[in-house]
């Protein structure tokens, strides 16, 4: 579902991603771990074309992210075509990024109504169902400022689900939360994983990665240092850099 082939990314002459090759199969949960500055977030942002890659190939659901093949050349997508491709990819950010002037229900139904132009009543009903799925029944009319951080992040997860994506990207979804709110959000993410959603999750929650991931990827300095099952990477890492990182965070 996600295929990165020798992806590289640089800002000026700073190399941020170097030769990243990674495949995530349909229904797979892949957790990206690594120290701050490793390039995890940048990679996630490349997957939905918030950042352009400078080398290699990046495919989601068989399509080149941000580009269309015409004959032998690639053309960058824009406007509606890019929007259509992005609608396959849900994104959940560290800082929730909800629309502050909209209620929880409006936040969730906004993209389906405005971008996908689906019938309003149907989208609202679906938004209510999704809010109930993330444990927020009864909070549909609340504005983000009236919700806790954990509740806001659960609205953001419902919003990502509302576009019926093929993939959801989570960028440190619990890093901005007070510690007592982390568990409720991880439980919701685990619930989404159990539905068979393909997920790429940048996280510092090692126990979560151990329990929920099918595969763990450890990145450092813009490269994949090692990847494998949670047991392989987290319990028996091959590389010294992985061992040092785990020792620091555990």
User: Which one of the spans 40-48, 113-121, 177-185, 238-246 is the region binding ligand ADP (CB under 6 A)?
Assistant: 40-48
Query: Angle at Cα 126 formed by Cα 78 and Cα 59, nearest 5°?
Result: 35
**Which residues are within 8 A (CB) of 201 and not within 5 positions of it... i.e. 6 or more apart?**
29, 30, 31, 32, 169, 170, 173, 189, 209, 212, 213
Q: Are strands 73-76 and 67-70 parallel, antiparallel or unpaired?
A: antiparallel
User: Which one of the spans 22-30, 39-47, 105-113, 151-159 is the region binding ligand ADP (CB under 6 A)?
Assistant: 39-47
User: Which one of the spans 37-45, 55-63, 114-122, 153-161 is the region binding ligand ADP (CB under 6 A)?
Assistant: 37-45
Min dist CB 10 to ligand ADP, Å, is: 9
Q: Are strands 14-24 and 89-92 parallel, antiparallel or unpaired?
A: unpaired
Nearer to ligand ADP, 37 or 83 (CB): 37
DSSP state letters, 127-138? HHHHHHHTT-TT
Q: Which residue is nearest to ligand ADP (CB)?
A: 41
Min dist CB 45 to ligand ADP, Å, is: 8
- Using CB under 6 A as the binding rule, whether residue 174 contacts ligand ADP is answered as no
Q: Are 104 and 139 in contact (CB under 8 A)?
A: yes
Rounded CA separation 186/208 (Å): 7
- Residue 65's closest CA among 1, 147, 145? 1
- Using CB under 6 A as the binding rule, whether residue 95 contacts ligand ADP is answered as no
Show the tokens assigned to 76. Answer: 């960058």
Q: Are 35 and 241 in contact (CB under 8 A)?
A: no
Instruction: Identify the residue among 2, 40, 173, 209 touching ligand ADP (CB under 6 A).
Output: 40
Instruction: Identify the residue among 1, 4, 16, 91 touching ligand ADP (CB under 6 A).
Output: 16
Instruction: Identify the residue among 24, 39, 112, 159 touching ligand ADP (CB under 6 A).
Output: 39
Q: What is the DSSP letter of 40?
A: H
- Using CB under 6 A as the binding rule, whether residue 42 contacts ligand ADP is answered as yes
- Using CB under 6 A as the binding rule, whether residue 30 contacts ligand ADP is answered as no
Min dist CB 38 to ligand ADP, Å, is: 4
- Using CB under 6 A as the binding rule, whether residue 36 contacts ligand ADP is answered as yes
- Residue 218's closest CA among 239, 198, 249? 239
- Using CB under 6 A as the binding rule, whether residue 37 contacts ligand ADP is answered as yes
- Using CB under 6 A as the binding rule, whether residue 46 contacts ligand ADP is answered as no
Q: Site residues (CB under 6 A) for ligand ADP?
A: 11, 14, 16, 34, 36-42
């Amino acid at each position: 579902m996600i295929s990165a082939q020798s992806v590289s990314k640089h800002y000026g002459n700073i190399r941020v991603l170097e030769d990243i090759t990674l495949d995530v199969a349909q229904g797979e949960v892949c957790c990206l771990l690594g120290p701050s500055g490793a390039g995890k977030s940048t990679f996630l942002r490349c997957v939905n074309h918030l950042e352009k890659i400078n080398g290699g190939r990046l495919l989601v659901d068989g399509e080149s992210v941000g580009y269309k093949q015409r004959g032998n050349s690639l053309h960058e997508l824009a406007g509606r075509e890019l929007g259509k491709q992005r609608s396959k990819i849900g994104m959940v950010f560290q800082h929730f990024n909800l629309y502050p002037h909209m209620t929880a229900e409006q936040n969730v139904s906004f993209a389906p109504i405005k971008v996908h132009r689906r019938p309003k009543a149907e989208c609202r009903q679906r938004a209510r169902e999704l809010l109930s799925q993330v444990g927020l029944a009864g909070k549909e009319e609340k504005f983000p400022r009236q919700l806790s951080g954990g509740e806001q992040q659960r609205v953001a997860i419902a919003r990502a689900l509302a576009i019926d994506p093929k993939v959801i990207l989570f960028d440190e979804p619990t890093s901005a939360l007070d510690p007592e709110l982390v568990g409720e959000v991880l439980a919701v993410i685990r619930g989404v994983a159990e539905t068979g959603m393909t997920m790429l999750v940048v996280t510092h929650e090692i126990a979560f990665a151990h329990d929920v991931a099918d595969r763990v990827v450890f990145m450092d300095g813009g490269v994949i240092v090692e990847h494998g099952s949670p047991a392989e990477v987290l319990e028996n890492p091959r590389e010294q850099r992985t061992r040092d990182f785990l020792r620091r965070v555990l």
